[in-house]
Structure 1
């Protein structure tokens, strides 16, 4: 079973290189691919990082043979998964850089505990040199803000939670 991850890692590396070549050949700045539990996103420019997410060790090994310590690192993303499942979770509709305030010297659009109305701007996401307002999807109270100012965000990443 130990040879399978090495073979997969080699295949994954080849796939990332092929995706990077497609980026260069087509002039695209980003490409994302999903195949089963493997998700790969390759981006260039702006200091972005090439990412590859392979199945966790717990998914590769049978549940009976997985040592207890392997499941501990897997537990960390559960918080994001919990946030994603929250009914008031507002997710990023695009890849970009999130800004929590309208300008560097201004106060944040909202703070935890603030009451908002549906349609109020909560953050901005800059994508392709365009600032896109991200608004409250419902009225309520800001329960949690899960991003920081000038942080890169992914499509579908939870930005904030409205209760």
Structure 2
């Protein structure tokens, strides 16, 4: 039998161990090489999206001590917004002012016009202004300065 037609013998125990390592360490892929042999074990990870009420509740945690003080029932404690929610169009870092020490673009109670800058999201060293989709009054800021933000995370509520 020529080398082309040789089949690799698979060590089922090794594959099982690698699969257990994937699960135990929350990895998506692991590869092992031994001379000419190479074994790669891969699994598809599915990420369940957290309900919005949990994201909003997390944005309202002011201090770690308060978060640990007592369990919070987010189903009853989740705030109800009456205005339009402005969400982050990208993953990045949120800045409430143009530069350190400068006044914030907006504050709760301010009136804004459509197109006014509400805040900046920095992504990959690019500063992206987030503008008001419509005119109105700022009723809630859901982020803090220099806070990391996720795609579609609520940032500001305009009424």
Q: 1:79 to 1:13 in 2, by over 3 A?
A: farther
Match of 1:113 in 2: 109
1:127 to 111, 123, 141: 123
Q: TM-score w.r.t. structure 2 length? A: 0.56
**Alignment check: 8 A CA contact 2:121 2:127 kept:** yes
Mapping for residues 82-161 of structure 1, pairs under 5 Å: 82-83=80-81, 86-161=82-157
RMSD: 3.4
Match of 1:3 in 2: none
Segments of structure 1 that go 5 or more residues without pairing to the other structure are 1-9, 22-32, 40-52, 54-71
Match of 2:39 in 1: none
CA positional deviation for 1:14: 5.9
Partner Cα separation in structure 2 for residue 129 and residue 135 of structure 1: 19
Partner Cα separation in structure 2 for residue 148 and residue 160 of structure 1: 11
Aligned pairs, how many?
A: 108
Runs of 4+ that moved beyond 6 A: none
Segments of structure 2 that go 5 or more residues without pairing to the other structure are 1-19, 32-43, 51-70
Q: TM-score w.r.t. structure 1 length? A: 0.55
Q: Which has the larger radius of gyration?
A: 2
1:17 to 27, 31, 41: 27
Partner Cα separation in structure 1 for residue 119 and residue 23 of structure 2: 35
Which SS does the other structure have where 1:149 is aligned? Answer: coil
Q: Which of structures 1 and 2 has the larger relative contact order (alpha carbons within 8 angstroms, sep 6+)?
A: 2
Which SS does the other structure have where 1:161 is aligned? Answer: strand
Which SS does the other structure have where 2:86 is aligned? Answer: strand
**Alignment check: 8 A CA contact 2:118 2:132 kept:** yes
CA positional deviation for 1:17: 1.1
